[in-house]
Amino acid sequence: MLEKLYEAGLKHLQSAHSQTFQEEWQGHDYAYRVVEPEFGDCKRTLLVLGGALRPLKPWPRLESNLPAGTRVVFLELPGLWDSRAIPSPFTWNLLVGAAVRTLDVLGAATCDVLALSASAPLGYRLVRDHGDRVSRLVMVGALSCVTEEVREVLERMSACLTHDRRLESDRDTRKAFTSAYSDFFLLSRKSTNRAAVTLSATIMRKLFTEVPVEKFRKCAQFYRDLFLANSEQIIPQGDTGGTPMLLIYGELDGVAPPEHAPIIARNSPNCQVAVMKGVGHNLQVESAKDFLDLLTRFLTDVPLNELPYCSLSSTLRQ
C-alpha cells in the first residue's frame, strides 16, 4: 500500500516542466535533470547532489513544494551510469568539475546546493573551491570520516560485488544482498515512526532490486576510491568562508550520527546544525514534511529558531 502511494505521487509530477539532458566531462558521459518553475521566471537554482544509485529519480514533494521561482537541477555523477569504462580512480576533482560545468551550461552564475549523504563531501568541496558559485549549502547525513562500522559494510559489499557472480542470475542471492545493504543505509538507533520507516525501507529495497549489478559495481568503486582510500579526508581542509551552511542530521541515525557535525562545522564560520527528532539516516523520507519546511526556511533566510521537530546549534561568528 505504501509503495502504491509513493508511485502515485510520482505520477502527479508535472513532467512538462522536467527535462533530462546529456553532457560530457573529461571523457565521461553523465546526465542532469532540470525542473523549471511552474509559474514565473527562475529566481534561484537549487543543485541537488543525491545518491549514487538513482540520482535523477523524481522527488515529488521536493519538486512541488519549494519556494516559487526555484529551478531544481538533479545531477548524475560522471562515471556511474554511462556505458564507458569506469574511471580509475574516481576523484572529487572530476565530480566538482562536472558540477561547475553543469552550472555553466545552464547559465547559472550562482546556486544553492543540497548535498545528501555520500554526495555531501562534493557539496563541501564546491563551496571551498568555487565559493562564488554557491549561495547556500545544505548537507544531509554527512560523515566527517569513515567509521569502522561503515568501513566494514562497504568493504563487505565491495567484495560481494567483485567475487559473487551469483548476484547476476540467482534470485535468492540478489534478495539477500538487497536486504542486507538497503537495511544498513536505513540504520537507526531505534524506530519512532513505524509507518515512515516502513515506507523508507520499501523505497530503498525497491531501488536496490531494480539497479543492474554492473551499476552496483561502479558504485562499489566509487566508495572504494573516494571513501575507503581516503577515509580521513572525506571533508577536506579549508573552510567555507562566509557561505551560509546548514548541516541536517537525524537524531537516531546510525550511519552518520550527529556527532559528526562539530568536526565539519569547525571550519565553517557561518554554519548551523539542525538535528531532526525521531528520525534516522533517510530523514528526508521518514519526516518529509518537516525536512522540506526546514530546507525551505533556510533557502529563504527564515530563522530556524524554536522549531518543534529539531534542535539547533550554530557556529555563526559575528
Q: End-to-end alpha-carbon separation of the chain, Å?
A: 50
Q: How many CB atoms are closer than 10 A to CB 130? A: 15
Is residue 245 a contact partner of residue 272, using CB atoms and an 8 Å limit?
A: yes
Burial class (CB in 10 A: 0-12, 13-18, 19+), 141: buried
C-alpha cell at 300: 529563504
Strands in 117-218 per DSSP E: 134-140
Hey, what amino acid is at 282?
Answer: N
User: Residue 199: enclosing H or E segment and its boundaries?
Assistant: helix 194-210
C-alpha cell at 195: 509507518
* β-pairing verdict for 70-75 and 28-35: antiparallel
The angle formed by the CA atoms of residues 6, 9 and 13, to the nearest 5 degrees, is 145
**What are the tens digits of pLDDT across the range 278-287?**
888 888 888 8
| CA 60 to chain centroid | 15
Banded model confidence at residue 5, pLDDT cuts 50, 70, 90: very low
Calculate mean pLDDT across residues 141-169: 86
The angle formed by the CA atoms of residues 218, 247 and 184, to the nearest 5 degrees, is 45
pLDDT given for residue 262 in this prediction: 92
**What are the tens digits of pLDDT across the range 161-218?**
888 888 888 888 888 887 777 777 766 655 566 666 677 777 777 777 777 787 888 8
208 vs 273, higher pLDDT: 273
Put simply, whether the predicted model's pTM sits higher than 0.75 gets the answer yes
Gap between the Cα atoms of 81 and 31, Å rounded = 9
